[in-house]
Amino acid sequence: MPDFTVGDKLRVTLFGQSHGPAVGCVIEGYPAGRSVDWERVRAFMARRAPGQNAWSTRRKETDGFETLSGLSKDGFTCGAPLTFLIRNTDAHSGDYPDLTRTPRPGHADFAADFKYGGAWDCRGGGHFSARLTAALCLAGALCVQELERYGIRVAAHIARVGDILDDVPDPVHPHLPFYADGAFPVINADQGEKMKREIDAARQAGDSVDGAVRCFVLGLKPGQVGGPYFGGLEGKLAQALFGIPAVKGVQFGDTQPRGSLNNDPYRLENGLPTAATNHCGGILGGISNGMPVYFTVSLKPTPSISQPQQTVDLETMEETTLLLRGRHDPCVVPRAVPVTEAVTALALTDLIV
């Protein structure tokens, strides 16, 4: 499977580079005859867009998009691949030193130099850049609307920034808010304020801070998706989620240390068999069991920091100190919330269409 493609039946192919002309995506397998709510697509994308908030990079991209194919003249999806183009308008290539010569610690540079024999476009991280998640969110926003036709909802929040935790929703009957553009996506607003201060402190220190996103999927029926072994829903979701830049861990449910505590007993609720607890995260034997699916995605701190860092000049083969300028998120976690929802929606739509 190529690097920029995800899914089988609903397949999304990303393209673009941070400082190239554009990013975008091609979506194959989206059902024909759908009427898309484009306002909601734009609102979803705005949740990820940079330059909007105090806590994100100052690069400003409106993420307006052009639709190149996939719609009939009446505006319905028509069975052709849906193709979207997002022009890059605020790339400052001058901000970047020659990273193929002095690789940034914590970035792809060093590994990419070897993989591509030095030929890759390192400006702004090239095709490794999180800039491509703009196209991911666009595709994900369409899938969110498709999933709703099946009664399935995806909602994420910040689980953690540094060591500051958000509240944990009840995994049996979660009440999740849906976040508007501009909102800081936490359940407990007080904890959200602390997180913002933590992010600001990192920024002022020329540093960055790690964190985690927790994501819920509501509305999956018992036996609806997943399967044993390599068909497991965990593996399917994880493969997609690790495609998000900076993700280093994925954990499903909240495993308890003893089987007697971890096993979710069955009971009758309104006459129907259901589990009384949900430590398994809605997945047993790789299959959705009808409980809310939830998982936690952990993200590393942004590797781009403004403190001086030690690296090696690959031309002179001498150790040297790297000083990065440019506009960087001191914490990718808030913007990773819609990206996590988008990728989750893509993976589930692929299993359902």
What residues between 95 and 114 interact with its own copies by CB under 8 A?
A: 103-114
Which structure tokens are listed for 204?
């002022």
* 94 is a contact residue toward its own copies (CB under 8 A): no
Output the smallest distance, CB 2 to its own copies, in A: 4
Do the beta carbons of residue 289 and residue 277 sit within 8 Å?
Answer: no
Site for its own copies in 177-216 (CB under 8 A): 202, 205-210
Site for its own copies in 302-341 (CB under 8 A): 302-305, 307, 309-312, 314, 317-319
Site for its own copies in 145-184 (CB under 8 A): 162-163
Do the beta carbons of residue 82 and residue 27 sit within 8 Å?
Answer: yes
Site for its own copies in 11-50 (CB under 8 A): 11, 13-17, 19-24, 26, 28-29, 32-33
Output the smallest distance, CB 331 to its own copies, in A: 9
* 224 is a contact residue toward its own copies (CB under 8 A): yes
3-state secondary structure of 51: coil
Which residue has tokens 């999927």? Answer: 217
How does DSSP assign 78-130, residue by residue?
-SSPEEEEEE-----GGG---TTTSPPTTSSHHHHHHHTTT-S--GGGGGGSG
Nearer to its own copies, 23 or 179 (CB): 23
Name which position in 51, 97, 219, 235 contacts its own copies (CB under 8 A): 235
Spell out, one character per residue from 111 to 140, where the chain touches its own copies: x when CB under 8 A holds, - when not.
Answer: xxxxxxxxxxx-x--xxx---x--------
Rounded distance between C-alpha atoms, residue 246 and residue 337, angstroms: 13
Give Cα separations from 316 to 259, 264, 321 (angstroms).
Answer: 57, 60, 13
CA 164 to chain centre: 20
* 9 is a contact residue toward its own copies (CB under 8 A): yes
Spell out, one character per residue from 254 to 293, where the chain touches its own copies: x when CB under 8 A holds, - when not.
Answer: -xxxxxx-xxxxxxx--x-x-xx---xx-xxxxxxxx---
